[in-house]
Structure 1
Amino acid sequence: MSSVSSSTAADDPWTGGADAKREAVLSAAASAFVQDGYGATSIDDIAARLGVSKPTIYYYAGGKQALLGACFSVALDGYSEAVEEGAVAGVDGRARLHQVVQKYVEITATVYGRCLHRVPDVELTPEVRDRLRAVKRKVDARIRDLLREGVRDGSLRTADVRMSTFVISGAMNSIAQWYAPGGALTPQEIAERLWDTFSEGVRPR
């Protein structure tokens, strides 16, 4: 599966190999779904964005629902990897949670992350929908674990881990609804400002 990216694999992917061409197709599809909505987007629209034929889209990525599933999978791969035990380092729960927030926000700001949060899951196949829910549970559990870890080691404070998790997740997911590339803030800056706002509420006193 392609890595999370906010752009096509190369300036001219059609001079590259099959992976670059598939990445270009997925990126164009995700951009169309974000901009125009899944229902209003056709395979012809995606082909027009790339200046290729409709059969080319089918060849590299399949039909419209397969395209959507593949776009979701890129984001889900990123989210899943971001919260793996080995991917999060730090001296305490606070530092480790900070890393998760940074990585999650950066993925959400990609075209694949925005596609995942903007397209209703009713458009997905049952298999992709099940994986979406499984990854959401995994991320939720990781945030709760890190909050509890921070409370234990004294680096965080919260009276309600569940509520704090809802607040963090809701704030991070909402970024997909308003973020646009080329804005005043980079994804990294957005992640830091979100963390600064949230971390004041869980700072030990």
Structure 2
Amino acid sequence: MRFVAWSGMMERPAATEPASPFRTARQREEDRLAKREAVLRAAVRMFNERGVHATSLDDVAASLGISKRTIYHYLASKDQVLLECVTIGLQQLLQAAEAAREEESTTKGRLVRFLRRYAEINMDDFGRCVIRTGEESLAPESRPRFRALKREIDDALRRMLSEAIADGAIAPVDVKMAAFALAGALNWPARWHSPDGGRSAEELAASLVDILLGGLLPRV
């Protein structure tokens, strides 16, 4: 009897590459941004609670359990930390204006939506910091950016008011004075609103805007 030799081999599972113990460039960048954001979040809360001048980077570092030197890996100075905090708040307001324009079809709808978000943002950490920070708290070289962003927000509000007046959605008023009055009223919750209060920021914002746009006098 003849035996035929079998030359085949059992299939083996394909080899897999071992997971690298090293973080990728993308992971390192995400980690850096998360740590930078943690520094800004801790700083903005201290600025709001204690005031800018009474808060040091040593205080911020201690609250995070790190050294002040570690903060310098992400932000160069206290002034840069403050500028970043107010910039975030101001950019949130600009984004709110853009969202209102993109997502609301009527001039009154855009105005109401923007004003409500304006008030809500000013009751949150970064918006609150914008309202509580005078430009004198920033270094002279940082003030032009602060002023420019605030001017963009004022321009956005004035455009919405002008458009609502033009199509009869609101009464004809002095646009400049109306913008000042609305912004002034909606900035103040940044000073008196407490997150632990009985009403949410969203509820308060809606009530404030209803009063401001509806007025207080009885209808005749």
Number of the residue aligned with 1:20: 34
Number of the residue aligned with 2:158: 144
Is the contact between residue 42 and residue 64 of structure 1 (CA under 8 Å) also seen in structure 2? yes
Give 1:22 deviation, angstroms: 0.8
Is the contact between residue 93 and residue 156 of structure 1 (CA under 8 Å) also seen in structure 2? no
1:154-195 Cα offsets, whole Å, 9 max, x none, are 221143222221111101111111123232222211210111
Of structures 1 and 2, the one scoring higher in RCO (CA 8 A, sep 6+) is 1
Counterparts in 2 of 1:79 and 1:144: CA distance versus 1, 3 Å: same
Structure 1 segments unaligned to the other structure (5+ residues)? 1-15
Number of the residue aligned with 2:126: 112
Is the contact between residue 111 and residue 160 of structure 2 (CA under 8 Å) also seen in structure 1? yes
Give 1:96 deviation, angstroms: 0.7
Q: Is residue 114 of structure 2 the alignment partner of residue 100 of structure 1?
A: yes
User: Could you tell me which of 39, 42, 45 is aligned with 1:31?
Assistant: 45
Written as runs of structure 1 = structure 2, the 5 A alignment for 1:124-163 is 124-163=138-177
The AA in structure 2 aligned to 1:145 is R
Number of the residue aligned with 2:87: 73
1:39-62 Cα offsets, whole Å, 9 max, x none, are 111111111211222212222223
Number of the residue aligned with 1:193: 207
Written as runs of structure 1 = structure 2, the 5 A alignment for 1:53-68 is 53-68=67-82
The AA in structure 2 aligned to 1:174 is W
Per the normalisation by structure 1, the TM-score is 0.83
CA-atom RMSD in angstroms: 2.4
What secondary structure sits across from 2:215 in the alignment?
Answer: helix
Structure 2 segments unaligned to the other structure (5+ residues)? 1-29
Number of the residue aligned with 1:123: 137
Number of the residue aligned with 1:173: 187
Give 1:100 deviation, angstroms: 0.9
Is the contact between residue 75 and residue 112 of structure 1 (CA under 8 Å) also seen in structure 2? yes
Is the contact between residue 123 and residue 190 of structure 2 (CA under 8 Å) also seen in structure 1? yes
Bigger share in helix: 1
Give 1:127 deviation, angstroms: 4.3
Is the contact between residue 135 and residue 143 of structure 2 (CA under 8 Å) also seen in structure 1? yes
Count of aligned pairs = 190
The AA in structure 2 aligned to 1:21 is K
Give 1:86 deviation, angstroms: 7.3
Counterparts in 2 of 1:78 and 1:116: CA distance versus 1, 3 Å: same
Per the normalisation by structure 2, the TM-score is 0.78
Give 1:87 deviation, angstroms: 4.5
Counterparts in 2 of 1:136 and 1:171: CA distance versus 1, 3 Å: same
1:94-129 Cα offsets, whole Å, 9 max, x none, are 111011112212221221111121122112134432
- Identical-residue share of aligned pairs (%): 38
Give 1:135 deviation, angstroms: 2.0
Q: Is residue 66 of structure 2 the alignment partner of residue 52 of structure 1?
A: yes
